[in-house]
Amino acid sequence: MALPASAVRAFEPPPQPERGAPACTTCPRWHSRVEAELAASRPGSVAASVCAGPPRGVSHGFNSGPLLEKTRKAPSSLAGAACAPLFALLSRGRRRRMHVLRRRWDLGSLCRALLTRGLAALGHSLKHVLGAIFSKIFGPLASVGNMDEKSNKLLLALVMLFLFAVIVLQYVCPGTECQLLRLHAFSSPVPDPYRSEDESSARFVPRYNFTRSDLLRKVDFDIKGDDLIVFLHIQKTGGTTFGRHLVRNIQLEQPCECRVGQKKCTCHRPGKRETWLFSRFSTGWSCGLHADWTELTSCVPSVVDGKRDSRLRPSRWRIFQILDAASKDKRGSPNTNAVANSPSSTKARNTSKSGKNFYYITILRDPVSRYLSEWRHVQRGATWKASLHVCDGRPPTSEELPSCYTGDDWSGCPLKEFMDCPYNLANNRQVRMLSDLTLVGCYNLSVMPEKQRNKVLLESAKSNLKHMAFFGLTEFQRKTQYLFEKTFNMNFILPFTQYNTTRASSVEISEEIQKRIEGLNFLDMELYSYAKDLFLQRYQFMRQKDHQEARRKRQEQRRFLKGRLLQTHFLSQGQGQSQNLNQNQSQNPNPNANQNLTQNLTQNLTQNLVQNLTQSSSQKENRESPKHNPGKEQNDSTSNGANDYIGSVEKWR
């Protein structure tokens, strides 16, 4: 079967274009090479003009599409006669893609032309605007309209440099994070990194009077010895986050070993196979799920003394045996005073038989936010059925602690139903978990009247919280980190993060519902107010103590430098006086006169030095008297400084 003549010519080697003839290099990608060479060989045809495309910088416009369609629809034309055999050799999909690419190429050339003309118009307008501005400012000096080409280029370069600097500054220093862009940064001091996280005033008016021993919390925690940190984890107070900080974010000689996929970490003492942390993420729920103060103070000493490796969780029956033995020991004690038997006042409740020290810590939260967070957690199916609630050696009966739901869980319960249950343990949970329940007969409500019971529970919770080694607040993460580091002399690797958006904050409640929640948690509200006041007073006390310590170090450094300067001054004077003495001795051979002269000189120097020191110290004391109480510390520092300088002078003599 013979091919058409046009197809035979298509497969022949392409003819070389004449010298000076334009080469066809702008065909689309999917055009075949044969079609390109064939179009180039016919410079006068319509196909050649379509293949060559528009000149550089000129677009077909939107009328190029219909022109191509007309060309395709005219099979009798020269272009149709040239391209029909080539399109016949291609598939239908390939021909469709060629048409789409041609349309895209036309649209791209149009966009490029519009962009070029737009930039040119923008530059022209900018030139006229800047010229008008400069004519207003520098009109008497020169006219911008008569500026030569070099001046225009220099002006354009300055404008482009300024725009580039602004763009770079926005990338390097975005938004309000750049302190240099703030006008008040040059007049105001450096902001306090521990400023109140709730955006309230850093200064507050204390409501409670605490002693120095209540505010000063600095324990001598010996991680290499037998000391143990016990974390009392209250539900929905941010204890999970703080517990992870304890095992993953503390700088230790031997860090905790945390494996991927496991909740518990191994926190051993350096060189020992004993744990220094009793918490959910180190020993697990060894005393029961979310054990309260009553359970922990009875269980932890027995668990630690009963087994050396606290990583092994005891069985449920073993926990009951431990708590029962502890309750029998307590009932058999000769001291029957309820306050004296309180864990906060009894040293035996904070130490074990082997002499180990237990430092209890916890985290508190705003009662309304905590209550809403627990309600959302219960809605998702949480029950905490594994909690033992052991008190006085036994768990509560079903009559003492009824359940609020009948099924497997309380998932999907509305907020009204959650608040209507009178046996809901979410009500005043923080007071109940921090108080000694044995003082009120555990969960038996018939032991004493409700008003008296609430009063005893609240006072017990306040006392236990005040005598704890440390407690933090969820609403003050940075301050919590600061107080923990100062209390235990242990530093965290990364700073704590304050999350202002939680599940509880997403719940929108009316003012009436909020007041009802506050009424259901009236004991927690009073306890949180007490804890917040104590927490902020401790923070301010520790910060003032740090400032005083830094001031004392600066004074010691200045005193040391002043002593060095005086010492060098006396040495230089002594060398000059010794030279004078040698000259006098050569002129006057009497040795007694020389000795008397030396003694008189040293005495005069000593007296002048003491007078100068006393004057300077008195002036400094007068300057600092309105800021500090002029007590023994100032006198001691003055006398010590004078004695040091007198000692240096005597040493020089």
pLDDT digits (tens, 9 = 90+) for 569-619: 777 777 766 666 566 656 555 555 555 555 665 666 666 655 665 665 555
Would you call 560 helix, strand, or coil by DSSP? helix
| Residue corresponding to tokens 């237990």 | 358
The two structure tokens encoding residue 367: 């009662």
Amino acid sitting at position 455: K
What confidence tier does 564 reach under pLDDT thresholds 50, 70, 90? confident
The pLDDT, as a whole number, for residue 309 is: 43
The two structure tokens encoding residue 485: 């580091």
Q: Which residues pair with 230 in a beta bridge?
A: 278, 360
Tell which residue, 301, 306, 310, has the closest CA to residue 350: 301
Give how far Cα 578 sits from Cα of 22, 271, 597, 644, Å.
Answer: 104, 62, 11, 24
The pLDDT, as a whole number, for residue 427 is: 97
Non-local CB neighbours of 453 within 8 Å, separated by 6+ positions: 440, 445, 447
Of 99-113, 331-345, 376-390, the least confident: 331-345
The pLDDT, as a whole number, for residue 154 is: 74
Of 346-350, 490-494, 591-595, 615-619, the least confident: 346-350
The pLDDT, as a whole number, for residue 96 is: 74
Number of Cβ within 10 Å of residue 183's Cβ equals 7
- Tell me if 301 sits within 8 A of 288, measured CB to CB: no
Residue of 233, 245, 290, 389 marked catalytic: 290
- Three state DSSP letters for 333-344: CCCCCCCCCCCC
Q: How far apart are CA 209 and CA 204, in angstroms?
A: 14
Q: How far apart are CA 548 and CA 618, in angstroms?
A: 20
CA atoms within 13 A on the CB side of 236: 24
Q: How far apart are CA 407 and CA 400, in angstroms?
A: 19
Q: For residue 370, is pLDDT > 60?
A: yes
Residue 187 in domain: no
Q: Could you tell me how far CA 408 lies from the centroid of its own chain?
A: 39
Q: For residue 280, is pLDDT > 70?
A: yes
The pTM assigned to this predicted structure is 0.58
The pLDDT, as a whole number, for residue 257 is: 94
Tell me what the pLDDT averaged over the chain comes to.
73
Mean pLDDT of 480-485: 96
Non-local CB neighbours of 641 within 8 Å, separated by 6+ positions: 559, 613, 617
Whole-number percent of the chain with pLDDT over 70: 57
* Most confident of the ranges 69-78, 87-96, 113-122, 412-421: 412-421
The pLDDT, as a whole number, for residue 92 is: 72
What confidence tier does 565 reach under pLDDT thresholds 50, 70, 90? confident
pLDDT digits (tens, 9 = 90+) for 2-19: 555 555 454 555 555 555
Which is it for the CA torsion 285, 291, 293, 296, positive or negative? negative
The pLDDT, as a whole number, for residue 476 is: 95
Q: How far apart are CA 115 and CA 97, in angstroms?
A: 27
Alpha helices by DSSP H, 441-521: 450-467, 477-488, 511-520
Number of domains observed in the structure of the chain = 1
What confidence tier does 642 reach under pLDDT thresholds 50, 70, 90? very low
Q: For residue 185, is pLDDT > 50?
A: no
Mean pLDDT of 30-55: 50
The pLDDT, as a whole number, for residue 607 is: 65
Residue 115 in domain: no
Q: Is 128 a catalytic residue?
A: no
The pLDDT, as a whole number, for residue 298 is: 92
The pLDDT, as a whole number, for residue 49 is: 47
Q: How far apart are CA 532 and CA 524, in angstroms?
A: 12
Of 19-23, 123-127, 392-396, 461-465, the least confident: 19-23
pLDDT digits (tens, 9 = 90+) for 109-118: 767 777 777 7
Q: How far apart are CA 25 and CA 11, in angstroms?
A: 20
Residue 3 exposed, middle or buried by CB count within 10 Å (0-12, 13-18, 19+): exposed
Q: For residue 36, is pLDDT > 80?
A: no
The pLDDT, as a whole number, for residue 330 is: 52
Of 105-114, 164-173, 190-199, 329-338, the least confident: 329-338
Residue 526 in domain: yes
Higher pLDDT, 56 or 114: 114
H/E stretch holding 304 reads helix 293-306
Non-local CB neighbours of 35 within 8 Å, separated by 6+ positions: 27, 51, 83, 86
Q: For residue 53, is pLDDT > 70?
A: no
Tell which residue, 69, 67, 35, has the closest CA to residue 51: 35
Residue 604 in domain: no
Q: For residue 456, is pLDDT > 50?
A: yes
Of 113-127, 390-404, 531-545, the least confident: 113-127
pLDDT digits (tens, 9 = 90+) for 202-254: 567 899 999 999 999 889 999 999 999 999 999 999 999 999 999 999 999 99
Residue 537 in domain: yes
The pLDDT, as a whole number, for residue 79 is: 44
Domain that holds residue 495: 209-308+354-548
Rounded to 5 degrees, what are φ and ψ at 278? -110, 95
Higher pLDDT, 595 or 337: 595
Tell which residue, 600, 568, 606, 598, has the closest CA to residue 580: 598
- Tell me if 359 sits within 8 A of 469, measured CB to CB: yes
Q: For residue 477, is pLDDT > 80?
A: yes
The pLDDT, as a whole number, for residue 41 is: 55
Task: Report, in this order, helix, strand and coil percent for the chain, each rounded to 5.
Answer: 55, 5, 40
Q: How far apart are CA 374 and CA 238, in angstroms?
A: 12
Question: In CATH, what number is assigned to the domain containing residue 362?
Answer: 3.40.50
The pLDDT, as a whole number, for residue 316 is: 45
Residue 286 in domain: yes
The pLDDT, as a whole number, for residue 326 is: 53
The pLDDT, as a whole number, for residue 339 is: 36
Mean pLDDT of 292-298: 95
Q: How far apart are CA 275 and CA 281, in angstroms?
A: 12
The pLDDT, as a whole number, for residue 346 is: 37
Q: How far apart are CA 197 and CA 536, in angstroms?
A: 12
Give how far Cα 70 sits from Cα of 46, 95, 102, 447, Å.
Answer: 11, 16, 15, 103
The two structure tokens encoding residue 239: 């204890």
Non-local CB neighbours of 530 within 8 Å, separated by 6+ positions: 208, 462, 465
Residue 130 in domain: no
The pLDDT, as a whole number, for residue 484 is: 97
Residue 463 in domain: yes
Tell which residue, 357, 285, 295, 293, has the closest CA to residue 320: 295
Higher pLDDT, 199 or 475: 475
- Tell me if 443 sits within 8 A of 451, measured CB to CB: no
* Most confident of the ranges 34-43, 129-138, 393-402: 393-402
Higher pLDDT, 208 or 65: 208
What confidence tier does 517 reach under pLDDT thresholds 50, 70, 90? very high
Rounded to 5 degrees, what are φ and ψ at 361? -135, 155
- Tell me if 233 sits within 8 A of 279, measured CB to CB: yes
Tell which residue, 368, 373, 367, 366, has the closest CA to residue 198: 366
Rounded to 5 degrees, what are φ and ψ at 9? -65, -30
